[in-house]
Chains A and B, each alone.
Chain A
Amino acid sequence: MYTQMSDGIDGQPNASDERERAFERRLERGVKIEPPDWMPEPYRKTLVRQISQHAHSEIVGMLPEGNWITRAPSLQRKVILLAKVQDEAGHGLYLYSAAETLGTPRDDMIAALHAGKAKYSSIFNYATLTWADVGAIGWLVDGAAIINQIPLTRCSYGPYARGMVRICKEESFHQRQGFDIMWKLAHGTPAQHAMAQDALDRWWWPAVMMFGPPDAESTHNRQSLKWKIKIFTNDELRQKFIDQTVPQAERLGLKIPDEQLRWNERTQHYEFGPIDWEEFYRVIRGDGPCNKDRLQARIDAWEEGAWVREAAAAYARKQAERGAVA
């Protein structure tokens, strides 16, 4: 995953510019923008922010599930989870590279994350308390990620769109393995079933919030839609997620924690209860259960690893010198 567009747009394009008009014509014709192409600065900045946020989310997202690798309950589950977390590292690296094509070095993006200036998806500020949370994350969080990201395979920036194609394939495997964990638990012992229900109770609303604030409050929807960095609005994606997920919960025999959830025959969509946006903004502001721990874990890995990176650089320098002499 895991995009969550919670930021605004930097500045406004200057339509008087001829290059600007050419750029917009390309967008209209559906021609991809590639790294060497001219692009308006606000488009570039918005993309760097969105792609780096996405990359950070992949990397921070390794932590909540990473928690459970050492405690996974069977060897099969363990290797599947380990491979999944490894995939997320690959996604992060891939996305950092895509963002680097826009001229921002990876280390700068990481520094911004560690300084608290860059965001990542808030969903990872929730705690993984039981094994069922690993299932719930795969099922719901990766599930939401797919819904967010499939449209991005058609986004206007070439490297990002192509990255999404590859990443989405792996995310759908993640979603299936999560559902499979939930299935085993929901159909297991009473204790396992309770574990699954508890995880759904805690993850449902945060997952629904992953699509970002409602369209009415979203300041950036319009420009990003015009730039084809975003294809559907937050609310459209959220509805799609709910419509897709409710029948899956029914198949699991689990109850979604929303008393107002009901099928609307006329609209052919599920209606759902009010979302606690208070909580959403509180967690984004830094007061979720794990904000500080997650960021600190990243900072610790970086700082404690400094001597290793220095050693690798020093060795490479020495080797180059030896090569020059020899």
Chain B
Amino acid sequence: MSSHVEYVLRFGDSALVLAQQLSGLVAHSPIMEEDVAIANVSLDLFGQARLWLGYAGELEGAGRDEDRLAFHRDASEFRNVLLVERPNGDFASTTVRGYFYDLWSYLALGNLTQSLDRRIAAIAEKSRKETAYHLRRSEDWLVRLGDGTEESHARAQRAASELWPYTGELFMGDDVDVEMARQGIGFDPERVREPWLERARLALATATLDVPGDSWMQHGGKQGVHTEALGYLLAEMQVLPRSIPEAVW
């Protein structure tokens, strides 16, 4: 698979996996208004995923459309970052995972709007507007939980510590990143590390939460080496199209 296709799939798969996770929460939120809000974010992310996957399929030129890519690939063929496949957990985990992702996504998409690949730039432009809203919302909840009650503070702190080791991958480049940056299609992920850390530290401080200490950073998702959670997520998501592969739905 070309670096170009790989690169586009990474963004599409991350959006898809997070959208899928959030979609399972709708109708079970702590506040009914949140059902509406979570559905909004999930819908936006599915929309972004469809744009990315559709484009990846076109670039690949092997006749795979968005559904072929979403429903007929195994876990090892997915290119999402590990962070988004971490389980929903409690509302604090969902919030912190969302915040870490939204902040990264917002910054990454900002870089991609400068892509020489005009299709990528256009997708990034549209997605960034949506992501700005997601980021406002998740940052707002992060602060409310961190600076809420003793219990919410403890839950938010635990979530931040548990998810921190999955943030490093967001900034780790590999050959694909290098190649895409060289062609002016992509960017060096290292470039978003400092802006991400700066804003995350500020938000955590506002939320009265400690910034988790340095730790080993889990990675591999972008290359197709995932956590155990992804297999279950895909099993559920893909069961129907795989059961009748020739069907149109």
Contact = CB atoms under 8 A, between A and B. Distances in A.
A305 interface: yes
B205 interface: no
Contacts of A301: 27-30
B36 A131 contact: no
A24 B29 CA distance: 42
B156 to A, nearest CB: 9
B249 A82 contact: no
Interface string A299-326: 0111011111111101100100000000
A71 B239 CA distance: 7
B67 A93 contact: no
B39 A85 contact: yes
A301 B145 CA distance: 18
Contacts of A310: 148-149, 151-152
A93 B36 contact: yes
A188 to B, nearest CB: 6
A318 B28 CA distance: 27
B247 A308 contact: no
Interface stretch (A4-12, A59-67, A239-247): A59-67
B115 to A, nearest CB: 24
A308 B145 contact: yes
B241 A74 contact: yes
Contacts, number: 138
A184 B248 contact: yes
Nearest to B90: A304
Contacts of A188: 247-249
Given A79-B47, A314-B148, A66 B27 contact: yes
A288 interface: no
A304 B39 contact: no
Contacts of B158: none
Contact of A192 (B36, B39, B67, B244): B244
Select the residue from A59, A89, A184 with max chain B CB neighbours within 10 A. A89
B23 A78 contact: yes
A216 interface: no
A40 interface: no
B31 interface: yes
A83 B43 contact: yes
A189 B28 contact: no
Contacts of A89: 26-27, 32, 35-36, 39
Interface residues of A, number: 47
Interface in B28-62: 28-33, 35-36, 39-40, 42-43, 46-47, 49-50, 53
A197 to B, nearest CB: 15
B201 interface: no
A297 B249 contact: no
Given A309-B31, A311-B144, A71 B248 contact: no
Contacts of A318: 147
Interface in A87-104: 89-90, 92-93
A267 interface: no
A304 B244 CA distance: 37
A188 B31 CA distance: 40
A268 interface: no
B20 interface: yes
B237 interface: yes
A131 B148 CA distance: 41
Contact of B32 (A93, A192, A306, A307): A93
Nearest to A67: B27
B30 A78 contact: no
29 contacts: A59-B27, A62-B26, A70-B24, A70-B237, A71-B239, A73-B247, A73-B249, A75-B49, A75-B50, A75-B67, A76-B67, A82-B23, A82-B42, A85-B26, A86-B35, A86-B36, A86-B43, A181-B249, A184-B248, A188-B247, A189-B247, A191-B247, A297-B27, A308-B91, A309-B30, A311-B145, A311-B149, A311-B151, A312-B148
